[in-house]
Amino acid sequence: MTGGEIAGLLAAGVFAVLVLLLAVPILKLGRVFDELRLTIRSLNNETVPLIDEVTRTVSTTNSQLEKVDGITTNVSDASANVSALSSLVASTVGQPLIKVAAFSHGVRRAFTGDAAAPGSHRAERFGPAEGPGRAAGTAGTGEDRP
């Protein structure tokens, strides 16, 4: 055997060992891909029914929301009607009650003689005629000032 043949045999042996060393990770990688394929298949089989259930839930929720929308519309109309009714009652009953109260107050004051001095119940338009609210030397004329 010559040196070239020995080198060739040695190179072939090293190549065979290298192939065997690389075959182990390649086989393990093949098993990983098999497991990945099985996981994806099971995930797909579980996802499709879940998506169908979510679709049914969303459609049911939409139908319930339409019913709630109808209810809130009716409640809004009813509250508007109650508000209008209370305004109507306040204007039809309130004004006459105020007039009756004012009349009865006037009658009571007339019968009890509890009349105040004329003009004493009104305040001056621009403050007191005399006193601390007036500047020194100004007299209250009682006329309106701008």
| pTM over cut 0.75 | no
Residues in the chain: 146
pLDDT digits (tens, 9 = 90+) for 19-52: 999 999 999 999 999 999 999 999 999 998 999 9
pLDDT digits (tens, 9 = 90+) for 43-79: 999 998 999 999 999 999 999 999 999 999 999 999 9
Q: Which residues of 128-143 are buried (b: 16+ CB within 10 A; e: fewer)?
A: eeeeeeeeeeeeeeee
Residue 112 exposure: Cα atoms within 13 Å on the Cβ side: 9
With beta carbons less than 8 A apart as the criterion, state whether 126 and 145 touch.
yes
Distance CA 135, CA 145 (A): 14
Angle formed at CA 117 by CA 111 and CA 122, multiple of 5 degrees: 115
Q: Report the 10 Å Cβ neighbour count for 127.
A: 13
Q: pLDDT > 70: what percent of the chain?
A: 77
With beta carbons less than 8 A apart as the criterion, state whether 140 and 125 touch.
no
Is the Cα dihedral 33, 34, 36, 37 positive or negative? positive
